[in-house]
């Protein structure tokens, strides 16, 4: 497992003496696994909001997300509210951030957006968007660069 030498040095400088690296792949690294197994991790906070609200012992110390999500939309969709009744595809990206944004502008992400995911190996949301068969696509690198 790769180690973060810079983080380790900084933690030791702050007085931490026991530093152990735990393998928690992104898709397996649920809020519960994080709360049960680690003290510090690099994670996308929005994926843990429900767990934090439910009382999971997770504290967010600082932001690391620099805006790598990109929402591509077909012509005519100019805002998040424009996604009402539309289909949004995603493969690697989790819908949590877009769901949060949709709720903030008054949409119900479960009812007002039709999510098209790559959970079924025969469905390829990016290809569907490129072919004009779905209305929008939420990409996470390296997808937007493809």
Summarize pLDDT for 46-97 with one digit per residue, the tens.
777 777 888 888 777 776 665 678 899 999 999 999 999 999 999 877 788 8
Q: Are residues 43 and 88 in the same domain?
A: no
Q: Is the pTM of this model over 0.85?
A: no
Please list, in sequence order, all residues whose beta carbon lies within 8 angstroms of the beta carbon of residue 41, skipping any fewer than 6 positions away. Answer: 24, 29, 34
Q: For residue 64, tell me if it sits in a domain.
A: no
The average pLDDT across 109-128 equals 91
- Owning domain of residue 30: 5-53
pLDDT score recorded for residue 110:
94
Q: Are residues 84 and 116 in the same domain?
A: yes
Q: Are residues 81 and 138 in the same domain?
A: yes
Q: What Rg, from alpha-carbon coordinates, does the chain have? A: 18
The burial class, CB within 10 Å (0-12 / 13-18 / 19+), for 46 is middle
Residue 138 binned pLDDT confidence (cut-offs 50, 70, 90): very high
The burial class, CB within 10 Å (0-12 / 13-18 / 19+), for 139 is buried
**Domains: count for the chain:** 2
Cβ proximity of 69 and 97 under 8 Å: yes
pLDDT score recorded for residue 32:
67
More confident call, 19 vs 103: 103
């Amino acid at each position: 497992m790769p180690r973060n030498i810079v983080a380790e040095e900084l933690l030791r400088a702050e007085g931490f003496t026991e530093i152990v690296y735990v393998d928690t792949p992104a898709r397996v690294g649920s809020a519960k696994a994080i709360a049960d197994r680690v003290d510090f991790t690099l994670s996308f906070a929005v994926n843990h909001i429900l767990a934090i609200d439910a009382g999971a012992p997770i504290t967010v110390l600082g932001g690391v997300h620099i805006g790598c999500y990109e929402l591509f939309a077909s012509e005519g969709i100019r805002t998040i509210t424009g996604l009402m009744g539309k289909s949004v595809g995603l493969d690697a990206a989790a819908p949590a951030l877009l769901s949060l944004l949709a709720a903030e502008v008054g949409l119900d992400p479960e009812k007002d957006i039709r999510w098209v995911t790559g959970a079924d190996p025969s469905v390829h949301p990016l290809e569907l968007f490129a072919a004009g068969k779905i209305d929008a696509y939420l990409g996470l690198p390296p997808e937007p660069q493809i």
